[in-house]
Amino acid sequence: DTGVSQNPRHKITKRGQNVTFRCDPISEHNRLYWYRQTLGQGPEFLTYFQNEAQLEKSRLLSDRFSAERPKGSFSTLEIQRTEQGDSAMYLCASSGGLAGGMDNEQFFGPGTRLTVL
Amino acid sequence: AQSVAQPEDQVNVAEGNPLTVKCTYSVSGNPYLFWYVQYPNRGLQFLLKYITGDNLVKGSYGFEAEFNKSQTSFHLKKPSALVSDSALYFCAVRLMDTGRRALTFGSGTRLQVQP
C-alpha cells in the first residue's frame, strides 16, 4: 500500500526561476489537494482537483502559480518567476474513491521543501 | 469564513500523565473536524475525525477527541502520554453540506512528553 508521493523532496532555486513539483496520489483516490506550509504555521489550502477538474482555488494561488491534473492521476504544481516569499513546504494530499463516499479525511504526502535564494 | 484556533503553542506533559491539546473553531454551519500529527521530516498523519454521531471520537495511537458544539471546541486527549507522542499537532475544519473540500488548519501545538 503506497501512500501519497511527492517529487522532488527538496528544491533550491534562484529568484525568478520557474519550478515544477509533482504529486502522485494514492491510486484509488479521485480527489487531490495542494497546500502550502510555512515555518510555524499550519498548512494553507491552495487548490483542489476532482479527477482532472480543478474545482477550488484559493486566493493564495496567484497568477504565477498553476496546477494541473491532466489525466486525473498525478498532478503538477508550477511556480513561475519565483520570489523569496514562495519559500515554503508544498504539501499534496488525496482522498476519495472509497465505498460509501466516506472520503472526508485527506492523506498527505511528505511535501516538497522549496527554498528561493 | 472558517477558522481554527489552537491557543497553546506548546504543551508539556510527563510520560504516563493524561494530555489535552486544545482546539476551538469558527464556521458558519456544521463542521467536519480533524486532528493530524506531524513528525519531523514527515508528512501530516491523520489521527481522527468528527463527522456526526457520538461527540467522543476515538482515533489512532490511543488518542481521542471530544466535540463540544456549544463551546465550538474539539480538544484532543490521551489518558496516558508516551515520549513517542512528542510531535506537532494540527486541528482542522471544513464545512459540512457544501461542495467545498478545503481544510482550514490551526497554527499547530507542539507536544513535548518528558520521560
Q: pLDDT (tens digit, 9 = 90+) per residue, A63-112?
A: 999 999 998 899 999 999 999 999 999 999 999 865 445 567 899 999 99
At CB < 8 Å, which residues of chain A contact B? 3-4, 31, 33, 35, 40-45, 48, 55-56, 58, 91, 93, 95, 104-111
pLDDT average, residue stretch B8-24: 97
What are the C-alpha distances in Å from B35 to residues B4, B15, B65, B92?
Answer: 11, 21, 9, 6
pLDDT, tens only, A22-65? 999 998 899 999 999 999 899 999 999 999 999 999 988 889 99
Long-range contacts of B50-54 (CB under 8 A, 24+ apart): B50/B74, B51/A104, B51/B96
**CB within 8 Å: B108 and A40:** yes
In angstroms, the separation between the Cα of residue B81 and the nearest Cα of chain A is 23
Percent of chain B topping pLDDT 90: 78
Residue A4: strand pairing partners? none
Q: What is the pLDDT of residue B28?
A: 86
Q: What is the pLDDT of residue A104?
A: 73
Mean pLDDT, all residues of chain B: 93
Q: What is the pLDDT of residue A61?
A: 87
Q: What is the pLDDT of residue A100?
A: 44
CA-nearest residue of chain B to A39? B107
Q: Is B94 within 8 Å of B2 (Cβ atoms)?
A: yes
A40 vs B68, residue with greater confidence: B68
pLDDT average, residue stretch B85-111: 91
d(CA A67, CA A116): 19
Q: How far apart are the first and last CA of chain A?
A: 37
What are the C-alpha distances in Å from A113 to residues A39, A72, A91, B40, B77?
Answer: 11, 24, 9, 13, 31
Q: Which residues of chain B neighbour A105 with C-beta distances below 8 Å?
A: 34, 46, 49
Instruction: Pick the residue of B50, B101, B104, B107 with the most A CBs within 10 A to test the interface with A by mutation.
Output: B101
Q: At A79, which amino acid appears? A: I
**CB within 8 Å: A111 and B43:** yes
Write the burial class of residue B89 (CB in 10 Å: 0-12 exposed, 13-18 middle, 19+ buried): buried
**CB within 8 Å: B103 and A106:** yes
Q: Is B78 within 8 Å of B63 (Cβ atoms)?
A: yes
